Structure 1
Amino acid sequence: MPKPIIAIPADIREFDGTVWHAAQNQYVRAALKVADVMSFIIPAFEEGNDTDALLDRVDGLLVSGSATNVHPSLYGAEAKESDGPFDPARDATTLPLIRRALERGIPLLAICRGIQELNVALGGTLATEIHEQPGIWDHRKPADVERDVAFSIRQDVIIAEGSCIARYLGAGKIKVNSLHRQAISKTAPGLQVEAVAEDGTIEAVSVIGARGFAVGVQWHPEYWAETDKPSRTLFEAFGEAVRTYASARALTA
């Protein structure tokens, strides 16, 4: 059986005056090298994408992190310039893909911006500039350091006993690389909190009653997926879910 294929929605980026549909190499590489799946990069459009036509052709959905933030209007908040940058084309692409993938039982792994999109897609809200809130740590990416240093694994998160992620990573503390300015505020009704930082920030969720693998993490397992055991384990679990879905789909084709 050929390798299954997952969808990775693109970001809109501008280089040298030209607009690109782009995906970061770390996510595509982790999918290939660790999850052992191929990827389609899904173009981001504010209108015109056929969600079901896209999902008909893939066996999983990986919603990546990004330098942009979900637009506050999508969760009932007023947008301030400081909340940006925004990527409305990505929002318009990912939110319908997430909802429909869950309805169809297509495996889903949502990372960083992805967990925030998952929460918003299911009716939750986000908190912005969380480092300004009393008692909350500064989770932002350190400035003026090498990228590998910025993404180093140094923060504890606490995985809940009996949670979906605990099946793969075990319950209790693990160290991760969580870098973000925003975080889940009101958790969507369809989500279960799987892990939190020691300051209470939500770091992982799962979809309640999901028909397949459906997990979101605020940290960045893609960055060290080839060398860090918990990061690798999470991508391997996603890959196994994708293969299971692909095999079941092949039987009904």
Structure 2
Amino acid sequence: MKKPLIGITADSEENGGGYSALPWYALRHNYAGVIVRAGGVPVILPHEPETVPDLLDRIDGLMITGGAFDVDPALFGASSRHETVTLKARRTAFELAITRGALERDMPVLGICGGEQLLAVALGGTLIQHIPDSVPDALAHEQPNPRTEAGHTVALTPGSLLARIAGQDTIPVNSAHHQAVEAVPWTLVVNAVAPDGVIEGIEDPSRRFCIGVQWHPEYSISPADDALFRAFVEAARS
């Protein structure tokens, strides 16, 4: 059986620095490695909006990754922007376009960290712009320990697709975000919540496979992380 082709959105630096003085794309190895281990073929997607229809004709599933930037608050109706918000307008424009296109085709979609936040916005949700200013007694969602370790746990919503994939009610997760999903339309399911009440996962039960998680399962810190990628790739196979 042919292995499904999974499109993975890349990060970018438009002003260069580090790798090159010119603009460049980047992606951590583990984003691609987990797709290979789950039985898929990863392909990195550059931010060229005009290629979106052709890309969607070729890929079988879409993974939206995270990065050190935020979704523009104007895109979810906010009247102001928190001082901590950092934008990458070209990346966000591309990711919104390809995500909306994938959703229209009912293509399997997996959003990770900032990718979950973008998926929520594409589906009509809103975001908390800075957790420390909005959530009393919030956990350290920018965990001080390495990302290869758990920062806290999340409770999975009974009956949700994510809970069925994980096979348990609570899982350990790593945490690297200052924003989070604030609210989603009634058509979506909040499938994971942190002990401080912060939304950590969403899904759309009306679609073949549409899940967003706030943590970074590509680090494979629990069996539930690997199970999520296997389920995603399997959905892209059909």
TM-score, normalised via structure 1 length: 0.86
- CA-CA distance at 1:189 after TM superposition: 4.4
TM-aligned CA distance change 1:233 to 1:104, over 3 Å: same
1:81-96 alignment runs, 5 A limit: 81-84=83-86, 86-96=87-97
Question: Does the Cα contact within 8 Å between 1:129 and 1:181 map onto a contact in 2?
Answer: yes
Taking only the aligned residue pairs, the percentage that are identical comes to 40
Corresponding position: 1:107 with 2:108:
yes
Residue 24 of structure 1 aligns with which residue?
28
Q: Does residue 1:181 correspond to 2:182, yes or no?
A: no
Aligned length: 232
Q: 1:171 Cα deviation (Å)?
A: 4.3
How far apart, CA to CA, are the structure 1 residues paired with 2:219 and 2:185? 27
Structure 2 unmatched runs, 5+:
none
| Separation (CA, whole Å) in 2 of partners of 1:100 and 1:139 | 31
How far 1:76 sits from its partner (Å)? 1.8
1:136 aligns with: 138
Alignment of 1:1-253 (within 5 A): 1-13=1-13, 14-15=16-17, 16-33=20-37, 35-45=38-48, 48-77=49-78, 78-84=80-86, 86-132=87-133, 133-142=135-144, 149-210=146-207, 212-224=208-220, 228-244=222-238
8 Å contact kept, 1:160–1:194: yes
Cα deviation, 1:60-119, whole Å, max 9, x if unaligned, reads: 0011111111111211222244211x2111110111211221221211111100110011
| Structure 1: stretches of 5+ with no match in the other structure | 245-253
Q: Which amino acid in the other structure matches residue 141 of structure 2?
A: H
CA distance in 2, matches of 1:11, 1:81: 22
Is this contact kept in 1: 2:64–2:95, CA < 8 A? yes
Are the aligned partners of 2:143 and 2:174 in contact in 1 as well (CA < 8 Å)?
A: no
**RMSD in angstroms over aligned alpha carbons?**
1.7
- Indicate if the aligned counterparts of 2:141 and 2:151 stay in contact, CA closer than 8 A: no
Against the structure 1 CA distance between its residues 109 and 11, is the aligned structure 2 distance closer, same or farther, given a 3 Å change threshold? same
CA deviations 1:29-55 (Å, max 9, x no partner) are 11112x22112211114xx42322110
- Does structure 1 conserve the Cα–Cα contact (< 8 Å) formed by 2:64 and 2:115? yes
